[in-house]
Amino acid sequence: MSKSLQAIRGMNDILPEQTPLWRYFEGTVARLLDNYGYKQIRMPIVEFTELFKRSIGEVTDIVEKEMYTFEDRNGDSLTLRPEGTAACVRAVLEHGITGGGQVQKLWYIGPMFRHERPQKGRYRQFHQIGLEVFNLDGPDIDAELIIMTWRLWGELGIRDAVKLELNSLGTSESRGRYREALVEYLSAHHDKLDEDSQRRLKTNPLRVLDTKNADTQAVLVDAPKMADYLDDESRAHFEGLKARLDAVGIPYVLNPKLVRGLDYYSKTVFEWVTDKLGAQGTVCAGGRYDGLVEQMGGKPTTGVGFAMGIERLVLMLETLEQIPAEISRQVDVYLCAFGEQAELAGLALAERVRDQLPNLRLQVNAGAGSFKSQFKKADKSGALYALILGDDEMAQQVVGFKPLRGQGEQQSIAWDALAAHLATCVVQG
Ligand code: ATP
Ligand code: MG
């Protein structure tokens, strides 16, 4: 196929054989969020470029080199969203739904776009489920976000394979004091830093902390620690969070180098990481951003949130073989009809059954075909039972009911009794 008719590098089709697992994952998360009292919000995929520059920060990887930015026909600079927080904050401000201290507990799901180097677990269009809470400033809500994800890992069967890393970045004042101390220390070791870190030292010094360069890491061993610069309020907040995680029994490790890639975080930051996916080990990441709403022109409004990468979590379910057997079967019953009269009767019968059993996954054979070919399709569909309508059944107003997975003989069921019979033998989701 010519290149221009192929998908863009790093942007994937999610094929029908993969969508059951995606839907299982998304459904599990959505149910959990419903149960904890979070409400879904849906934002556009494209926003003014300025929004991301203002919120994410000019000197972050995302804004410097990863955004899909273009001019539209009016000459406005637009960007495909690289993340969800900026648009979510814009939306709550635009509609005034966080005004007067109103609490909002929101979540969203959808594609994000970043021009990164595609590799396993890292794509140019990828999908996140994200969550943002506004106007709750205590550590209790930070804890709730983490507790909720902990429950999710449990339900998905991947809890043993993820680890929680925690840090506190303090308020912007204490972070400012820390930044000064860090810059002073790193400047004294300037020649030993890698080129990227030398550049970051000038633009965004905290980002030097999460360098992958071994020489720079060696310099960082004796660098000042944020923990020693935390203000009392941030310290108390962090202790409050840890006490709650201890109370629920959620293990964590403190990682003083965890700074997150975005500029807007304050106080709590956290990441759930795994060693099952190679280099792309973070499956969920977030933190508190108490200054962001004001920075974007709103009244002071605290915020905390996280986002998880759906591709990476789906990959984990596959890698750890935590795929529930029932999600791959999408058909309960397959109806085969032979001859024109039987086909018409079959259609009407199927609709009557669907009226009575709206959750039944009933597939009616399309494209006619011989007894043999329809039966093959019934079997291949994964259905538990085949329904058979031929001349004999038509004459007696019954349908043949045949178990396809080994249990029992074929029997005849009267049309009127079919729905009731199916209700007893098919467990409906
Ligand atoms: P990373 O360090 O892996 O680049 P990040 O800090 O840039 O991640 P966030 O912006 O915090 O990521 O996004 C939250 C989550 O979204 C990540 O933890 C990850 O699971 C997922 N994610 C981020 N970028 C990508 C990508 N390019 N492809 C797939 N998933 C991604
Ligand atoms: Mg990144």
For ligand 1, the distance from its centroid to the CA atom of residue 263, given in whole angstroms, is 15
What is residue 96's predicted lDDT score, i.e. its pLDDT?
Answer: 97
Model pLDDT for residues 208-260, shown as the tens digit of each residue:
998 889 999 999 999 999 999 999 999 999 999 999 999 999 999 999 989 87
Query: What was the pLDDT predicted at 261?
Result: 65
Question: Going from the N-terminus, what domains does the chain have, and what CATH number goes with each?
Answer: 19-171+231-319 (3.30.930.10), 329-428 (3.40.50.800)
> 128, 269, 276: which to mutate for ligand 1, most atoms within 8 A of CB?
128
> What is the reported pTM?
0.93
pLDDT score, position 406: 81
pLDDT at 61: 86
Nearest CA to ligand 1 atom 12: 285
Please give the pLDDT value at position 87: 97
> How many angstroms separate the alpha carbon of residue 298 from the centre of ligand 2?
27
Q: pLDDT digits over 373-399, tens only? A: 999 999 999 999 999 999 999 999 999
Q: Separation of 83 CA from ligand 1 center, angstroms?
A: 9
Task: Report long-range pairs for 237-243 (Cβ below 8 Å, ≥24 apart).
Answer: 237/138, 237/139, 237/142, 237/168, 237/267, 237/268, 238/139, 238/168, 238/267, 238/268, 239/139, 240/138, 240/139, 240/140, 240/143, 241/139, 241/142, 241/143, 241/146, 241/166, 241/268, 242/166
Predicted confidence at residue 428, as pLDDT, reads 57
Q: How far is the CA of 329 from the centre of ligand 1 (A)?
A: 31
Residues of the chain with pLDDT under 50: 429
* Nearest residue (CA) to ligand 1, atom 29: 122
